[in-house]
Homo-oligomer: A and B are copies of this chain.
Amino acid sequence: MSTQRDRDEGEVRRRLDMIVEGIRAKDAGILERVYAADVVSFDVEPPLRHVGREAKMRNWAKVFTFFQDVGYEMRDLTVAVDGDVAFAYCLARLSGTLQNGVATDGMWVRGTFCLRRTDGTWLVAHDQASVPFDLTTGRGVADLEP
């Protein structure tokens, strides 16, 4: 028998599925329904943080101009939820064809999603996505496989 917490976890997972769906379709309309108006986002690329849904959506627009077509896959998505607060994390693989026609195998990033439920809807209030940083060379490490 499913508990309230199981049902809440299902809702959180469906909300995060919208990120996958929105990226693959390059559909900003889907993505903007995922984020809280005051989301604080620590994204893969600079700056240190985006504050607010509009800034986050401008970043997605930039990603979408970078790729002709884009793939996104989440692996090992783990979710914890209690009441109206949830967090989730996974490894995610971003791949696709760049505007210059070069196909990229993809790069694995680490994704953390922190959600709050407001008026019955789970929204991402904070997220962080990154690749590791090699302190000795100063390079981002974008070729690691899980």
Instruction: State whether A126 touches B45 (Cβ < 8 A).
Output: no
CA A129 to CA B84, docked complex, whole Å: 24
Q: Is A83 an interface residue (CB 8 A)?
A: yes
A132 shortest CB reach to chain B, Å = 4
CA A83 to CA B85, docked complex, whole Å: 8
Q: Which chain B residue has the least Cβ–Cβ distance from A126?
A: B89
List the one stretch of A15-23, A24-32, A110-118 in contact with chain B.
Answer: A110-118
Instruction: State whether A82 touches B82 (Cβ < 8 A).
Output: yes
What are 30 of the A-B contact pairs (CB < 8 Å)?
A42-B89, A42-B110, A43-B132, A44-B135, A46-B132, A46-B134, A46-B144, A48-B144, A78-B126, A80-B85, A80-B116, A82-B82, A82-B84, A83-B83, A83-B85, A85-B86, A85-B87, A87-B87, A87-B114, A87-B126, A89-B128, A110-B128, A112-B112, A112-B114, A112-B126, A128-B128, A128-B130, A130-B131, A138-B142, A139-B139
